[in-house]
Amino acid sequence: MRSYTLLNVYFLLLLLLAVSCQSAPAPYGACPTPQQLAWQQMEMNLFCHFGPNTFTGAEWGTGTEPEDIFNPTDLDCRQWTATARSAGFKGVIITAKHHDGFCLWPSPESVHTVARSAWREGKGDVLRELSEACKADELKFGVYISPWDRNDPRYGAPEYNGAFVRTLESVLGGQYGPVFEQWFDGACGEGPTGRRQVYDWPLFNETVHRLQPNAVIFSDVGPGCRWVGNEAGQAGRTNWSTLEVEGFEPGAGSPPTEVLNGGTPGASHWAAPETDVSIRPGWFWRASETPQVKSVQHLLKIYYESVGRNSLLLLNVPPDTRGRIDAVDSLRLMEFRAALDQIFAEDLSSGASVSGDARGRRFLPANVLSTDYDQYWALPDGQTRCTLTFSFPEPRTFNRVLLQEYIPLGQRIAAFHLDILTPEGEWRQIARETTVGYKRIVLTPTVTTTALRLTIDDALACPTLTRVALYQDNMYCEAEAN
């Protein structure tokens, strides 16, 4: 009788173990909201700096420019969106109001707007035209609205915050449809003797969420996504999507740029980095800078160091004085797209067999070969180290290893390395890295092998991977990119 009971307990435990191995790992730490996940899956968006600076050549306007300065001779937002779409961008963000305070829409809160310009006899509205063009070309529409305002006389006084909220309302209230991202720039060049505005960030964020519940809010410290800490197009090689935000705020009160660049492992807030960088030396279009439009090599470097390092890429391609994207820039974008298409045309892991530990039948190693994002590999709870071995039916040649964690359950992997099997039957290390996140593309030497080993050396909790893919890049040459 006694042994019968023990047997029962034993079987019950086995059953419990089997069931728990079939259930998904519990989310670890801070995890993305569905909006943050959808945002990250966009991967590349277009940034458009456009306004009085386009006509004056300034980077930061003073706010005293006459409204008539803004006079695009041939504005065509469909040309921007057609360009963005063919380049593979998923959304467009426009500088609706830059630091000079000029509003590209007839904001009732300001006298410094398109309504006071001669452009389209004061009846023009760039936001209307761009939001409609985005809709027609199936792109998402986002807005940059600078809190720092060099034109508004209320700037520096408490009433400016209310005015800024009404400014937000006139853009986000539905007039231009859904807004996927609200960009809050932390910059302020007033200097120590200038006007000092104490921003009501909680009120600004609440306003955005109230009017556009699906919008992801960008600022140095989120809450939706964070600044990557530089404007050179480089996310950290170690890059956590989590960030310690307690005690910090956008602008002067933000964490050091190295922290923004790499995030904080295990922090309680999810704010993945966004890499904003311009295709030109400046943020605004200038004829004199056309010869310096970044090369395809440079754009590929930026891609690998942003999208390939767990960041979203927001590439600025500023429209010119006609109100069109310069032919040089758009041609470069098409070449960039063609290069990406060529590099990522064929996943060289296809047909591989994958072996290694797994949480259970729903989470087998082979899941990393599937392109279904929700089908992923996972380890049992408590196991943070493991080796997955990919064996190929015939030798494969590659120099890019793409990895993706299943981030709805949080970011976990903290260290990994890659080895290949040499013809002598030995394992040779080809890369040693740290984080993965939503997407990591590891640049390795070109190797030919019949087997690849991925070893996870450390993770904050049992790791997950939804994708491992291999590519051969014959386009990118590091020496030419710099």
| Both structure tokens of 442 | 């590891």
Contact of 158 with 117, CB cutoff 8 Å: no
Query: Positive or negative CA dihedral for 91, 201, 243, 215?
Result: negative
CA distances to 156, 188, 201, 285 from 194, rounded to whole Å, are 9, 10, 20, 28
Q: Is 65 or 276 the residue whose CB approaches ligand FUL more closely?
A: 276
**Rg (alpha carbons) of the chain, rounded to whole number:** 25
Q: Is 169 or 185 the residue whose CB approaches ligand FUL more closely?
A: 185
In whole angstroms, the minimum distance from the beta carbon of 316 to ligand FUL comes to 7
In whole angstroms, the minimum distance from the beta carbon of 156 to ligand FUL comes to 18
Q: Is 59 or 347 the residue whose CB approaches ligand FUL more closely?
A: 59
Q: Is 129 or 276 the residue whose CB approaches ligand FUL more closely?
A: 276
**Binding characters for ligand FUL, 143-182, by CB under 6 A (x = yes):** ----------------------------------------
Q: Is 178 or 282 the residue whose CB approaches ligand FUL more closely?
A: 282
> Which parts of 399-418 interact with ligand FUL (CB under 6 A)?
none
Residues 6+ positions from 98 with CB-CB distance below 8 Å: 49, 51, 53, 60, 61, 144, 146
- Per CB under 6 A, the list member of 185, 326, 329, 405 interacting with ligand FUL is 185
> Is residue 276 within the footprint of ligand FUL (CB under 6 A)?
yes
Q: Is 311 or 464 the residue whose CB approaches ligand FUL more closely?
A: 311
User: Among all residues, whose Cβ is closest to ligand FUL?
Assistant: 187
**CA 45 from chain center: how many Å?**
8
| Both structure tokens of 481 | 């990119």
Size of the site for ligand FUL (CB under 6 A): 5
Contact of 133 with 77, CB cutoff 8 Å: yes
> Which parts of 45-74 interact with ligand FUL (CB under 6 A)?
59
In whole angstroms, the minimum distance from the beta carbon of 35 to ligand FUL comes to 22
Contact of 185 with 148, CB cutoff 8 Å: yes
Q: Is 169 or 220 the residue whose CB approaches ligand FUL more closely?
A: 220
| Maximum separation of any 2 CA atoms in the chain, in Å | 96
- Whether the link from the prior residue into 52 is cis, omega within 30° of 0, is no
Query: By C-alpha distance, which of 170, 66, 174, 175 is closest to 108?
Result: 170
- Per CB under 6 A, the list member of 38, 165, 187, 364 interacting with ligand FUL is 187
In whole angstroms, the minimum distance from the beta carbon of 283 to ligand FUL comes to 4
In whole angstroms, the minimum distance from the beta carbon of 52 to ligand FUL comes to 13
- Per CB under 6 A, the list member of 176, 218, 283, 476 interacting with ligand FUL is 283
| Both structure tokens of 421 | 């099997």
**In the block, which residue shows the tokens 């903290």?**
414
Query: By C-alpha distance, which of 131, 128, 160 is closest to 147?
Result: 160
Q: Is 89 or 406 the residue whose CB approaches ligand FUL more closely?
A: 89
The continuous run of DSSP H or E covering 396 comes out as strand 386-404
In whole angstroms, the minimum distance from the beta carbon of 187 to ligand FUL comes to 3
Q: Is 48 or 343 the residue whose CB approaches ligand FUL more closely?
A: 48
Neighbours of 158 (CB within 10 A): 10
> Which parts of 347-386 interact with ligand FUL (CB under 6 A)?
none
Contact residues for ligand FUL (CB under 6 A)? 59, 185, 187, 276, 283
